[in-house]
Structure formats: C-alpha cells, structure tokens
Amino acid sequence: MLTSTQSVFVVIFGVGASLLLLVMVNRIWPRERRYAHNDQIGWQLSVLGTTYAVILGFMLYAVWTEFGQAESNVEYEANDLVSVYWLADGLPDQQRAQLKNLARGYANVVIDQDWPAMYAGQLPRASLAVNTQMWNTLMSVKAATPAETTAQDHALYELSSLTQHRRTRVTQSMSYLPPVLWLVLIIGGFVTVASSCLFGSSHALLHFLQVSAFSLLILLGLVAIAEIHLPFQGSVRISDHAFVRALQNMEGAVAPVAPHQ
C-alpha cells in the first residue's frame, strides 16, 4: 500500500536510477563502441519490450477488473441491506422493529468499523455480529398471514444475498498480489530498462530522453498496479459511499430501492 507521496517518490527515484544506470553503462562501455551491436541489441530489446508490455498490461487489466468487481460487490451488499429494511414492513410488529433497527445498525457498523479495519489491512469482524442478529430475527418470525410469509421469504432471500456479498467483501479486502508476480514485474522492468540503456545512440540527449520516457511508463504501470491491487487500502480505494446512501435511504432521505434481481 502506497500513499500518493510515496508513489511520486518511487516514480522519481526509479527514473533517476534508470538514468544513473545509463551513465554507468556509457562509462563502462562507451556508446561509440556499441554502434556495431545495435542490430542485435535492437531485436532483443524489441522482444523484451513486447513481452514485458504484455505482462504489465495483463496485470494492470487483471487488478483493475478485480477492483471493479469489489466495487460492484459493495453496491450489491448495500442494495440488499436496503431491501431487507423495506421488506421488514411486511413482518409482525416485533420483528419489524428489530430488523429495521438492525439494518440501520449494520450500515453504521460497516461505515464506522468495517471500513477503517479494511483500510488498516485487518479482518472486518464488526458487521458479522449484526448480520447474525438479523438472521436470528428473521428466523424467529411466525408468519400468521400470506403477506407475512411472502415478506419473510423475500427478506430471507435478500439477507442471504447480503451475507454472501459480505463474505466476498471480506475475502477481497484480505487478498493481495502474490510476491512471485511482483518479482516478475520488478525484475522484468529492470531487465527491459537495462536493455534500452545498452543501445548505442549517436545522440546522447535523445537517448537520455528515450530511457527516461521508457522507465517512466513502466514505473507508472507498476505504481498503478500497487495502488489498486488492494481495493480497500491506499490512496485509490473503494469508499463507503454505498452504505452512506443506504443509510440515508433507510432514514427516508430518498425513495426506497427495489430488490436487485
């Protein structure tokens, strides 16, 4: 997990290190002596660059897809919560009041306790107790009319969906990119930039600019992956706005939402 300041520092440091590597290569192996090897270095750089671009692009696409899925899952969980709240209107008086209070309590617990815990990289446990109480309340309903039976059935369906989405959120909050993949990305980036430094160029400034742009692009890709591969941590993370809106909905700030299919 990186802060915005740390991300900027990593990019600046990485570009500076790439230019320092180029200076060292020029001193050890002068660029005039590398002209004769440009054909061989060129095709090797092309193969390395293309291979690494595919790896980097695939990893960036994968983590962004997972980030989007986690964001959608949070929306579904919040929608299920609102549906349970409004379906409670069809239950007997005692369970109706209990379930509505628990639904509002669930939203508050998720906002005040689950989200800070996930941001800190900890397992969000607070909402589990409220979720269990919601199940106990619904299962204690003794429906006396067909309307109450229908309301209970629909509420159980939505609560089951909410519980599933909560479990998915917990799993996603604790997932991370395996170290072996970071090893591939970092070593692959270093090898690719180092290969670009070996190219013999007759224009020193142009070569410096090319290596700078090359390393900058690679570092931006790595930083982007580092920022979004933990969807509930870092400077780029999923907010709790879905549950804030759900709480407003349950308090009557906006119209009720229909259960999602």
Can you count the helices (H) and strands (E) in the chain? 10, 0
Rounded average pLDDT over 106-129:
93
pLDDT at 85: 95
Distances, alpha carbon 32 to alpha carbons 29, 195, 205, 221, in Å: 8, 16, 14, 32
**Total domain count, the chain:** 1
Q: Please provide residue 211's backbone torsions phi and psi, each rounded to the nearest 5 degrees.
A: -65, -40
255 in a structural domain: no
With contact defined as beta carbons under 8 Å apart, do 97 and 189 qualify? no
pTM above 0.85, yes or no: no
Q: Among all chains, which residue has been given the structure tokens 């991300």?
A: 7
261 in a structural domain: no
Rounded average pLDDT over 7-29:
86
> Which stretches within 3-37 are classed as H helix?
4-28, 31-34
Q: Each residue of 69-92: pLDDT tens digit?
A: 999 999 999 999 999 999 999 999
Signed CA dihedral, 100, 82, 154, 173: sign only: negative
259 in a structural domain: no
pLDDT at 37: 62
229 in a structural domain: yes
From the list 201, 229, 189, the residue with the least C-alpha distance to 55 is 189
With contact defined as beta carbons under 8 Å apart, do 78 and 243 qualify? yes
Name the 3-class secondary structure at 240: coil
Taking the C-alpha atoms of residue 178 and residue 184, their distance in angstroms, rounded to an integer, is: 10
Taking the C-alpha atoms of residue 96 and residue 98, their distance in angstroms, rounded to an integer, is: 6
Q: Each residue of 206-242: pLDDT tens digit?
A: 778 888 998 999 999 999 999 899 999 988 899 999 9
256 in a structural domain: no
Q: How far is CA 254 from the centre of its chain?
A: 29
233 in a structural domain: yes
| Domain membership of residue 183 as a residue range | 4-250
- What integer best gives the mean pLDDT of the chain? 87
Taking the C-alpha atoms of residue 116 and residue 51, their distance in angstroms, rounded to an integer, is: 39
22 in a structural domain: yes
For residue 110 the two structure tokens come to 């998720």
Q: Each residue of 36-67: pLDDT tens digit?
A: 666 666 667 788 888 999 999 999 999 999 99
Name the 3-class secondary structure at 222: helix
With contact defined as beta carbons under 8 Å apart, do 184 and 52 qualify? no
